[in-house]
């Protein structure tokens, strides 16, 4: 079982819809990251959070430490939001390696149709 | 802040050849990471530097792989005697902990 599980794997929605991507993890963490990856490979960090909720523009990220669960929401979705969204956890000493011990989920491939 | 730069963007090589990739991190970042990503998967950790010291290597990093970060600035990742299974996107990221990682655009390697 992967330490970080995302759902759904693929999501196609119409422009304007409210989008939710879920992430569950099985290890103790110091922080959870939501990342966005566009075709061509570049990854952009969207959020880094260890509790509660963060909001940036139309994006909202929440985390429930007790339930080991996080969600990424996109309000008023737009075709430019089409990308792969990756959940990753910082777990020092975990399988992710490095001082930040970052372990990644497989990503959710989101397509927003006009 | 010019971001993390990786070169080349794409590399096609024949099996058995050696390849070298370069990563230029954000200048003040002391931590540098290399990851490998195959199609449909999330990135997998390869190795990590703090300044010039290589502090950790994944078991994914076989003897054919070597990484350096001379003077704690840019880093290189070399793959010797490439195999078709080495075909992947190689991602570099840097950080000034505890800030989030900043990723480069990656080097896509195709081994024919």
**Chain A residues 4-33 with CB within 8 Å of chain B:** 4, 31, 33
pLDDT tens across B45-95, in order?
899 899 999 888 888 888 999 999 998 899 999 999 999 999 999 999 998
Task: Return mean pLDDT, chain A.
Answer: 90
- What is the band of A107 on the pLDDT scale with cuts at 50, 70, 90? very high
pLDDT tens across A47-59, in order?
999 999 999 999 9
pLDDT tens across A93-102, in order?
655 666 666 8
**Chain B residue closest in CA terms to A109:** B40
Q: In the prediction, which pLDDT does B13 show?
A: 98
Q: In the prediction, which pLDDT does B91 show?
A: 95
In this predicted model, which residue has the larger pLDDT, B96 or B91? B91
Which of B40, B45, B106 comes nearest A96 by C-beta? B45
Which of B40, B89, B101 comes nearest A102 by C-beta? B101
pLDDT tens across B3-55, in order?
999 999 999 999 999 999 999 999 989 999 999 999 888 899 899 899 999 88
Main-chain dihedrals φ then ψ at residue B86, nearest 5 degrees: -80, -10
Q: How far is A108 from chain B, CA to nearest CA, in Å?
A: 9
Query: Distance between CA A88 and CA B95 in Å, rounded?
Result: 15
Q: In the prediction, which pLDDT does A108 show?
A: 96
C-beta of residue A15 within 8 angstroms of C-beta of residue B75: no
Q: In the prediction, which pLDDT does A99 show?
A: 60
Q: In the prediction, which pLDDT does A96 show?
A: 61
Q: Shortest CA distance to B103 belongs to which of A28, A70, A26, A42?
A: A42
Q: Does the pLDDT at position A39 exceed 70? A: yes
Which of B45, B54, B60, B61 to probe the A interface (max A CBs under 10 A)?
B45
DSSP chain B: ----EEE-SEEEE-TT--EEEEEE--TT--EEEEEEE-TTS--EEEEEEETTEEEEE-TTS-TTEEEE-GGGS-EEEEESS--GGG-EEEEEEEE-TTSPPEE---EEEEE-
- What is the band of A86 on the pLDDT scale with cuts at 50, 70, 90? very high
Chain B residues lying within 8 Å of A103, measured CB to CB:
45
Q: Does the pLDDT at position A1 exceed 60? A: no
Q: In the prediction, which pLDDT does A28 show?
A: 84
Read off the pLDDT of each residue in B93-106 and give the average, rounded to a whole number.
86
Structure token pair of residue B77: 């990742």
Read off the pLDDT of each residue in A79-99 and give the average, rounded to a whole number.
81
Cis peptide before A55 (omega within 30 of 0): no
Query: Distance between CA A62 and CA A32 in Å, rounded?
Result: 10
Read off the pLDDT of each residue in A26-31 and give the average, rounded to a whole number.
86
Which of B41, B100, B108 comes nearest A45 by C-beta? B100
Which DSSP category does B84 fall into? G
The reply to whether residue B103 touches residue A40, judged by beta carbons under 8 angstroms, is no
């Amino acid at each position: 079982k992967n330490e970080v599980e995302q759902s759904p794997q693929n999501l196609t929605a119409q422009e304007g819809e409210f989008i939710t991507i879920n992430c569950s993890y099985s290890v103790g963490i110091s922080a959870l990251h939501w990342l966005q990856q566009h075709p061509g490979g570049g990854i952009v960090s969207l959020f880094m959070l260890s509790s509660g909720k963060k909001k940036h523009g139309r994006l909202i990220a929440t985390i429930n430490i007790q339930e080991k669960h996080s969600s990424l929401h996109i309000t008023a979705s737009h075709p430019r939001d089409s990308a792969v969204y990756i959940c990753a956890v910082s777990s020092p000493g975990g399988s992710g390696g490095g001082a930040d011990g970052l372990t990644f989920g497989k990503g959710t491939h989101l397509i927003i149709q006009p | 802040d010019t971001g993390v730069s990786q070169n080349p963007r794409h590399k096609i090589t024949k099996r058995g050849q050696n390849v070298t990739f370069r990563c230029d991190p954000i200048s003040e970042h002391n931590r540098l990471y290399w990851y490998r990503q195959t199609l449909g998967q999330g990135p997998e950790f390869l190795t990590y530097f703090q300044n010039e010291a290589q502090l950790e290597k994944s078991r994914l990093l076989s003897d054919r792989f070597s990484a350096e970060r001379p003077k704690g600035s840019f880093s290189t990742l070399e793959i010797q005697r490439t195999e078709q299974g080495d075909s992947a996107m190689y991602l570099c990221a840097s950080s000034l902990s505890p800030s989030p990682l900043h990723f480069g655009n990656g080097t896509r390697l195709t081994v024919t």
